[in-house]
């Protein structure tokens, strides 16, 4: 690498150990292509499913998977000299890094863990801080924040993996408080990974076991029947703004991982027709949640518009939104007049304002 370059060095981090590893690679490839070569030196750092940190030689290697054969490890030094440690059979070399751009979805990337490493190393980074990342990743705590704002959301019964030995008691509590169907969700997961709609006791038990693969904390939520609406938020503090909204038309019973990424019949609609006043209500709620969680940079906030009542119901917030070909965030930003090539640069430069 040319260490004499005066371009700002941006470390794009992708992959990761979460169940969203593959989606992260696609998102990071899209983001890397949008970052202008004439302004930035891009260092591509891939984390394998096993947790190895490797230097990806090119964007093409991300696309064809050959980055996994890299012989060079690329580790962030915890010392406050803002450097990567590049290690291979020839030895160890330090390479400066000016900004980290994590494009990681789910655990160990979107949950504050890697953000804490950036803080320790003194490296400016794109996106939310470690505390806001942790709060928004954990659906339990996000619900506490939303509740403090008086924003409607699905009620839930908590369940914990450590108590599964007494599954009958868990099921009895759920059935005492909720009617079927219910949604069963890992507290810390994204892209609808591990989420199941349970219509009876047998399905509930299986759904709890499935969710427990992904997290020790589980939410059993009331089923909200309605339209799925998403809103993009960008900026920080009083400069943060919300875009228009998009609607998800799922090809399945609900917008699970398979419907989202593998079913071509699932569709997204920009600027859907909404009842009077609902657009502004959704945008205002998105901004309020973004600020209350102390978010920074960008996030996608998801809602339901309940059938029959038109009640706006908060679902979740994603602090490193997807950037695949079907992802709503870049589409909403482009529709609002902010193409990806523009806002990724703003995100990189904004990192110095934290």
Between the alpha carbon of residue 220 and those of residues 90, 160, 187, the distances in Å are 52, 11, 10
> Domain check: are 55 and 142 in the same one?
no
- For residue 68, CA distances in Å to 21, 45, 62, 274, 328 come to 13, 11, 9, 46, 29
pLDDT of residue 189: 73
CATH code, domain carrying 144: 3.30.470.20
pLDDT band at 6 (very low <50, low <70, confident <90, very high): confident
Give the pairing type, strands 73-76 and 83-88. Answer: antiparallel
Number of domains in the chain: 3
Which residue, of 222, 253, 275, is where some domain finishes? 222
CATH number, domain containing residue 57: 3.40.50.20
Q: Is the pLDDT of residue 194 over 90?
A: no
Q: What is the pLDDT of residue 276?
A: 97
Q: Mean pLDDT in the chain?
A: 93
Whether residue 336 is predicted with pLDDT greater than 80 in this model: the reply is yes
Predicted local confidence at residue 260, as pLDDT: 52
pLDDT tens readout for residues 14-47 = 999 998 899 999 999 999 999 999 999 999 999 9
Rounded to whole angstroms, the Cα distance separating 12 from 29 reads 9
Residues 253 and 205 in one domain: no
Examine residue 292 and state whether it is found in any structural domain, yes or no: yes
For the segment 257-281, what is each residue's pLDDT rounded down to a tens digit? 554 544 456 689 999 999 999 999 9
**105 and 211 both lie in a single domain:** no
Q: What is the mean pLDDT of residues 110-126?
A: 97
Flag whether pLDDT at 173 surpasses 80. yes
Instruction: Supply the pTM of this predicted model.
Output: 0.90
- What is the DSSP secondary structure assignment for residue 125, as one 8-state letter? B
Q: How confident is the model at residue 4 (pLDDT cuts 50, 70, 90)?
A: very low
Lowest mean pLDDT among 127-141, 169-183, 215-229, 256-270: 256-270
Provide the β-strand partners of residue 235.
Answer: 297
- pLDDT for 254 equals 52
pLDDT at residue 85 is higher than 80: yes
19 and 81 in a single domain? The answer is yes
47-86 burial, b at 16+ Cβ within 10 Å, e below that, comes to: beeeeebbbbeebebbeeeebeebeebbbbbeeeebbbbb
User: Residue 322 sits in which domain range?
Assistant: 136-152+225-353
Is the domain of 110 the same as that of 216? no
Statement to judge: residues 25 and 76 lie in one domain? yes
pLDDT in tens, 55-71: 999 999 999 999 999 99
């Amino acid at each position: 690498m040319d260490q004499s370059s005066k371009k700002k060095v941006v470390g794009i981090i992708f992959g990761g150990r979460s169940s969203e590893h593959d989606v992260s690679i696609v998102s990071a490839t899209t983001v890397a292509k949008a970052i202008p070569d004439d302004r930035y030196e891009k260092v591509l750092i891939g984390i394998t499913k096993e947790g190895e940190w490797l230097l990806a030689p090119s964007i093409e290697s991300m696309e064809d998977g050959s980055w996994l054969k890299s012989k060079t490890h690329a580790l962030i030094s915890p010392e406050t000299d803002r450097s990567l440690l590049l290690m291979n059979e020839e030895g160890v070399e330090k390479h400066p890094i000016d900004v980290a751009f994590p494009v990681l979805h789910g655990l160990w990337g979107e949950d504050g863990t890697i953000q804490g490493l950036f803080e320790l190393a003194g490296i400016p980074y794109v996106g939310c801080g470690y505390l806001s990342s942790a709060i928004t990743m954990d659906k339990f705590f996000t619900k506490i924040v939303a509740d403090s704002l008086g924003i409607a959301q699905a009620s839930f019964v908590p369940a914990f993996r450590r108590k599964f030995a007494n599954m009958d008691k868990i099921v009895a509590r759920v059935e005492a408080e909720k009617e079927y169907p219910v949604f069963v969700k890992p507290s810390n997961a994204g892209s609808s990974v591990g989420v199941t709609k349970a219509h009876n006791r047998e399905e509930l038990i299986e759904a709890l076991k499935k969710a427990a693969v992904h997290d020790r904390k589980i939410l059993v939520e009331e089923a909200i029947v309605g339209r799925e609406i998403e809103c993009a938020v960008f900026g920080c503090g009083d400069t943060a703004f919300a875009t228009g909204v998009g609607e998800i038309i799922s090809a399945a019973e609900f917008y699970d991982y398979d419907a989202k990424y593998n079913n071509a019949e699932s569709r997204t609609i920009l600027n859907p027709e909404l009842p009077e006043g609902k657009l502004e209500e959704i945008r205002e709620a998105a901004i309020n949640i973004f600020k209350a969680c102390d978010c920074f940079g960008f996030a996608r906030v998801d809602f339901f518009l309940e059938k029959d009542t038109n009640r706006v119901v908060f679902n979740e917030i994603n602090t490193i939104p997807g950037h695949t070909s079907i992802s709503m965030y870049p589409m909403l930003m482009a529709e609002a007049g902010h193409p990806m090539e523009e806002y990724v640069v703003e995100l990189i430069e904004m990192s110095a304002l934290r």
